[in-house]
A and B are shown apart, each in its own frame.
Chain A
Amino acid sequence: GQNIDQPTEMTATEGAIVQINCTYQTSGFNGLFWYQQHAGEAPTFLSYNVLDGLEEKGRFSSFLSRSKGYSYLLLKELQMKDSASYLCAALDSNYQLIWGAGTKLIIKP
């Protein structure tokens, strides 16, 4: 079956770095997305990886290893506004998004 695993909740300190991991098993693979979702709001796009390696975009970076079925989202210089859920989603062979349950990130001062 198709499955996405990511931690349920993580806590980090303002100004620090946090890495949110995601492993996936899908029928075919056409890339992996990371979304940020604040409570009561729709998800907003953070990154898309389809090739192996690290993509850096400001304070956020995303890494993909296709052979390992693994990705992570790296958040640097954490700010209080980064408190949100982070959703990992893989695009399968039918171009359907398979969603993880999301990782709730709590930032403490």
Chain B
Amino acid sequence: GAVVSQHPSWVICKSGTSVKIECRSLDFQATTMFWYRQFPKQSLMLMATSNEGSKATYEQGVEKDKFLINHASLTLSTLTVTSAHPEDSSFYICSARGQGDTEAFFGQGTRLTVV
């Protein structure tokens, strides 16, 4: 399958600071990228969907000014958690899908801890 690289794998930050997570498709062009959040013992919750060159579509209840998503190229999307708080601590996972594909490929995930 195709490879999606997510970085960093884990990050600890202070409350009030911002954290950027990168998601790269290494061997295909990702026209659509998905950002998920997963709390312990829960399933994946879709935060937003982004198409290359367009603004991201956020799911209900997800603050777009807090979770900034940029998908400026066909191989890179970034999620920036702004003014992070302890309740933002979670496992963030990206997945990427190519044009006309049904399967989306997952990054390794980022464990964010806000202290």
| Total contacts A-B at CB 8 Å | 43
Q: Give 1 or 0 for each of B30-71: 1 = CB within 8 Å of chain A CB.
A: 000010000000111110010000000000000000000000
Q: Give 1 or 0 for each of B10-26: 1 = CB within 8 Å of chain A CB.
A: 00000000000000000
CB-based contact A42/B43 at 8 Å:
no
Centre residue among B1, B6, B105, B106 by max chain A CB count within 10 A:
B106
CB-based contact B43/A102 at 8 Å:
yes
Distance from A48 Cβ to chain B, minimum over Cβ atoms (Å): 6
Distance from B60 Cβ to chain A, minimum over Cβ atoms (Å): 12
Q: Which residue of A lies closest to B111 (CB)?
A: A40
- B74 at interface, CB cutoff 8 A: no
CA A59 to CA B90, docked complex, whole Å: 32
Within 8 A of A (CB), among B76-108: 91, 93, 97, 102-108
> Given contacts A31-B102, A97-B34, is CB(A87)–CB(B43) below 8 Å?
yes
Distance from A3 Cβ to chain B, minimum over Cβ atoms (Å): 12
- A15 at interface, CB cutoff 8 A: no
CB-based contact A30/B106 at 8 Å:
no
Which residues of B approach A to under 8 Å, CB–CB?
Answer: 1, 6, 34, 42-46, 49, 91, 93, 97, 102-109, 111
Which residues of A approach B to under 8 Å, CB–CB?
Answer: 30-31, 33, 40-45, 48, 50, 87, 91, 95-97, 99-102
A-B contact pairs, 12 of them (CB 8 A): A41-B108, A42-B93, A42-B108, A43-B106, A45-B1, A45-B106, A87-B43, A96-B49, A97-B46, A97-B104, A99-B45, A101-B42
Known: A42-B106, A45-B105, A87-B44. 14 other contacts (CB 8 A): A30-B102, A40-B111, A42-B6, A42-B93, A42-B108, A42-B109, A43-B106, A44-B106, A48-B103, A91-B102, A95-B97, A95-B102, A97-B34, A101-B42
